[in-house]
Amino acid sequence: MMRDPQKTIGSLIDSQKVAFIGAVDEEGYPAVKCMLTPRAREGIRVIWFSTNTSSHHVTQYRANPKASVYVADRRFYRGVLLTGTMEISEEPEDKERLWQPGDTMYYPQGVTDPDYCVMKFTARAGRYYSNMQSQDFAIEQECIP
For residue 54, the domain's CATH number is: 2.30.110.10
- Structure confidence at residue 112 as a pLDDT band (50, 70, 90): very high
Question: For residue 142, is pLDDT > 70?
Answer: no
Q: What is the mean pLDDT of residues 121-142?
A: 88
Count of the separate structural domains present in the chain: 1
- Structure confidence at residue 6 as a pLDDT band (50, 70, 90): confident
Of the given ranges (39-43, 90-94, 117-121, 138-142), which has the lowest mean pLDDT? 138-142
Residue 4: the pLDDT is 84
20-40 per-position pLDDT tens digit: 999 999 999 999 999 999 999
Determine the structural domain holding residue 95 and report its residue range.
5-143
Instruction: Return the HEC string of the chain.
Output: CCCCHHHHHHHHHHHCCEEEEEEECCCCCEEEEEEECCCEEECCCEEEEEEECCCHHHHHHHHCCEEEEEEEECCCCEEEEEEEEEEEECCHHHHHHHCCCCHHHCCCCHHHCCCEEEEEEEEEEEEEEECCEEEEEECCHHHCC
Q: What is the mean pLDDT of residues 109-113?
A: 97
